[in-house]
Amino acid sequence: MTIIFWLIASTMTVLVLGLLLWPLLKRTATAAAREQEKTLSIFRQQFAELVQDRANGVLTDELYQQARRELERRLLEETGVTETTSTMARRQVSSRPVALAVAIIIPTVSGLLYWELGNPLAMTQPTAASLSTQGSSEDAHPSAEALDALVERLKQKMEENPNDGVGWVLLARSYVGMGRYSEAVPIFQKAVTLIPDDAQLLADYADTLGVVHGRKLEGPPEVLIQQALKIDPHNVKALMLAGTVAFNRKNYARAAKDWEQARANLPADVDPEMTQQLMAAIAEARSQLGGGQEMVSAFTESAAPAQPTGQTGQPRAIRGTVTVAPSLAGKGSATDTLFVFAREVSGPPMPVAIVRATKKDLPFTFQLDDSTSPMPSRKLSGSGTVVIVARLSKSGQAMPQSGDLEGTSQPVKSGVDGITVVIDRERP
């Protein structure tokens, strides 16, 4: 990467210098040629005058020959390497120092400016954004170390500037992004003290506090949620959290209302998958209003949860296979979308991890982990008991619809390997 960068930079520098120096050097040569042509024109005129004077009898043959030899001598001197030529060159040489100065100054100044204002380390060190998007296990350790270093520097900076509320917010959200929720809580408290009227900040604080309290939003997190909604009744995250509180209390009408309001206030550039997940949650709350307990009751049946395998490497992942019952194998088409997602048994219906495929991929081997979590604050690793739902959607939407084919696993925890989810029912 470094060699390519310097090769491109050097090529561009040479091209720029060529564009600048060519007119300067060309002007010197052109001016010299014009001056020489002017000199030759004068001598031609003087030769013509000598011939005319001889023809008119003004000059004898002897005087004519003498004058002609003198004129030829002067012509040779002034068009050769003589004092006349040197004088002419001295008049034109001023552009050459300018060209030399340009050739030295431009690369030097450009290099100094890049070193001062640019980021030379970016050629050899990945940025924080690229580190955060690396999901492979091979790059996990260097990414974590680099992020830890950045966060540590930010923490030191905040200790030097304790009244910088925006900085504390950035530090708290950095901790959340790294999964260090317990460390984020006191930082959020400092930020809220300095910026008390920020609805988004209060909602983030409530969410993080809920994660630390066993993913329960009742109590102090709920107080923060209500404070956020008083400041901004249309805050999407506060509405989603309020709907979650209502859903956990089986107040499905309130949950559906809060989530519908959250969906109405989603920004235009939001990820379409988040919209679909929210619509699926609304549909689930409405189904509970009709007395249907199909999902909740299935999740809380007396079957004992499967136990983690204790496998090392990725102990927080859930792996398994999705198949379809023979009685439903002929339904749908090969292009139907297959959603496989994990959802908390005693929580809101929004997934904590999700992957997608198509019916033609069946039997489908899946892996759910934190890298497949749709929201940073609701990761699979931080969830308790979950169920794995497999759904074949004709519409390609995550929101369940009549005619979709579904299957559900027994309750499991992170770290389970080798489970099988059978799609065995059709939604009415």
pLDDT, position 282:
83
pLDDT in tens, 127-184: 444 444 444 444 444 456 777 788 888 888 888 888 988 889 988 888 887 778 889 8
pLDDT in tens, 208-220: 888 888 778 889 9
pLDDT in tens, 335-393: 888 989 888 876 667 788 888 888 888 999 999 988 887 765 567 777 778 889 998 98
pLDDT, greater one: 252 or 104:
252
- Place 99 in a pLDDT band, splitting at 50, 70 and 90: low
Which H or E element spans position 349?
A: none
157 token code pair: 């900076």
Q: Are 195 and 169 contacting, i.e. CB atoms less than 8 angstroms apart?
A: yes
Q: Are 222 and 248 contacting, i.e. CB atoms less than 8 angstroms apart?
A: no
62 token code pair: 């002897």
Highest mean pLDDT (candidates 126-140, 259-273, 352-366, 396-410): 352-366
AA identity, residue 172: A
Q: Are 383 and 344 contacting, i.e. CB atoms less than 8 angstroms apart?
A: yes
Cα 38 off chain centre by: 65
**8-state DSSP, 340:** E
Look up the pTM and report it.
0.50
Instruction: For residue 314, give every residue at least 6 positions away whose Cβ sits within 8 Å of its Cβ, in sequence order, or none.
Output: 137, 369
- Place 323 in a pLDDT band, splitting at 50, 70 and 90: very high
AA identity, residue 424: D
pLDDT at 49 over 80: no
CA distance to 12, 15, 114, 312, per residue, from 8 (Å): 6, 11, 14, 45
- Find the range with the poorest average confidence among 273-277, 326-330, 369-373, 382-386: 273-277
Give the C-alpha separation, 335 to 394, whole Å: 8
The CA-based dihedral angle spanning residues 104, 105, 106, 112, taken in that order and rounded to the nearest 10 degrees: 110
